[in-house]
Amino acid sequence: MKIKKLMFVTKFEQLGFDALKSLLALRKAGLDHVVFVNVIERERFAMSRVGYRKDEEIRLRETANIRFIDWAESLFEMGMEAGVYIVVGTLVPEVLKAAEKEAADLIVIGRSHKGVLDQLYSGSDITELLRRSATPVLVYKHMSENILALDKPFSRPLLATDWSPACQKAVDYLITLEGIIEEIHLIHVITEKELADSPSHTSHTIQKARKQTRQKLEEICDIFEQQGITARAHIYVGNAEDEIEKAAREHQASMIVMGSSAKAYWLERWIGSTPREIAEKSAFPCLLIPPEKNAAR
C-alpha cells in the first residue's frame, strides 16, 4: 500500500508548486510519479449568449499546460515521472476517471478559503470526491499561521480512529511512511452519546471505558513503534469534530488522518459525517482513507 503515484488536482489558485514540493518528502517512501490534473469547467467558456468559445478553451488549456510543463520539468530533473491531464468537464467525475486510469495511490486536492460561495462550491466538490473515491484523498489547505510543520505535512499526523475498517486501513497506509513520519498521535473521541448510552454513569464505568479505549489505542501505537515510528495515544471526550480539531492543535499535528465514512449517502446526509465535516472545515490538511470497496455503503 505504498504511495508511489500521487495525483495532484489543482485549479492553480489553491494549490501551487510549493504545496507539491512539501509532499515530495514522500519520495523516501517510494513516491516516484506525480500526475497533474486540471479540470476546466465547461461553464467558463460555454456561454448561453455567445455560444461555445473554442478560443477561450484553447487559452485555458495552454495556460494550464505552460504551468504544468514548468512543474513537470522540476520533477523530471529530480529523476521522477510526471504526467498531465488537462480536461474540460466536471471536476469530480474527471478526477475519478483520471485516478482510475492512472491507478493513483493518493489524490491531493485543495480547498479554497476565499469567499463563502467559493467555499460552498469547493466544499461540495470535496464531499462528492470523498464519497465516491476508492483512492485515499488528501484535502490540502492553506494553513493558518499558528500551525507548525507547514513544509512537512506527513511529519506529525494525527490519526483519529473510531475502530472502523477504514481506520485500520489508514494504519496500514501510514505504516509505510517510516522515515517520513516523525511522530504520530492516535486519538479516539468518546462521545457524550456513548457515555449517556452506558448502563450506569458511575465513575467506575467511565474509567473502565477510558481504560479499554486506552488499551486499544496502545495496541495500534505498538504497531507503529514496531516500525520505528514514535506513537502517542490520547483520549478525548465530547463532540468528535471539535475534539479532533482540538487534539490536532494541542499536539501540533501536521495533518489529520481519518477513515472516510462507509455510510450510505442518504444516511450520511441525514446524520452527518465526521470525516466529511472535518475535511471541509478543519484548518489542517486532512487525509481520508476510504473503506474497502465491499464495505457497507
Partner 1 sequence: MSKKVLVVDDDPDVRLFSVTVLEENGYLPLEAANGEEGLKMVKAEKPDLIILDVLMPRQSGIRLYREMKTDKALKDIPIIILSGIAKKTFLRSQKAMTEFGGKPVPEPEVYLEKPVEPEELAETIKKVMG
Residues that bind partner 1 (CB under 8 A): 35, 65, 68-69, 72-73, 76-79, 81-85, 98, 101-102
CB of 101 to partner 1, least distance (A): 7
Judged by beta carbon, residue 52 or residue 163, the one nearer partner 1 is: 52
Torsion sign across C-alpha atoms 183, 166, 9, 69: positive
**E strand segments, 223-294:** 230-237, 255-259, 286-289
CB of 18 to partner 1, least distance (A): 20
Q: 268 and 261 in contact (C-beta within 8 Å)? A: yes
Judged by beta carbon, residue 74 or residue 168, the one nearer partner 1 is: 74
**What phi and psi values does residue 38 have, to the nearest 5 degrees?**
-130, 120
Judged by beta carbon, residue 84 or residue 255, the one nearer partner 1 is: 84
Among candidates 17, 23, 229, 21, which has minimal Cα distance to 136?
Answer: 23
Q: Which helix (H) or strand (E) holds 152?
A: none
Cell numbers for 13, please give them: 489558485
CB of 82 to partner 1, least distance (A): 6
Judged by beta carbon, residue 83 or residue 93, the one nearer partner 1 is: 83
Radius of gyration of the chain (CA): 20
One-letter identity of residue 69: I
d(CA 243, CA 295) in angstroms, rounded, equals 27
CB of 138 to partner 1, least distance (A): 20
Judged by beta carbon, residue 1 or residue 103, the one nearer partner 1 is: 103
CB of 72 to partner 1, least distance (A): 5
CB of 80 to partner 1, least distance (A): 8
Judged by beta carbon, residue 62 or residue 192, the one nearer partner 1 is: 62
CB of 208 to partner 1, least distance (A): 53
d(CA 187, CA 160) in angstroms, rounded, equals 5
d(CA 234, CA 49) in angstroms, rounded, equals 58
Q: Is 50 exposed, middle or buried (0-12, 13-18, 19+ CB in 10 A)?
A: exposed
One-letter identity of residue 93: P
DSSP at 6: E
**What phi and psi values does residue 86 have, to the nearest 5 degrees?**
-120, 110
Judged by beta carbon, residue 82 or residue 256, the one nearer partner 1 is: 82
CB of 73 to partner 1, least distance (A): 4
Judged by beta carbon, residue 71 or residue 224, the one nearer partner 1 is: 71
Among candidates 241, 253, 286, which has minimal Cα distance to 141?
Answer: 286
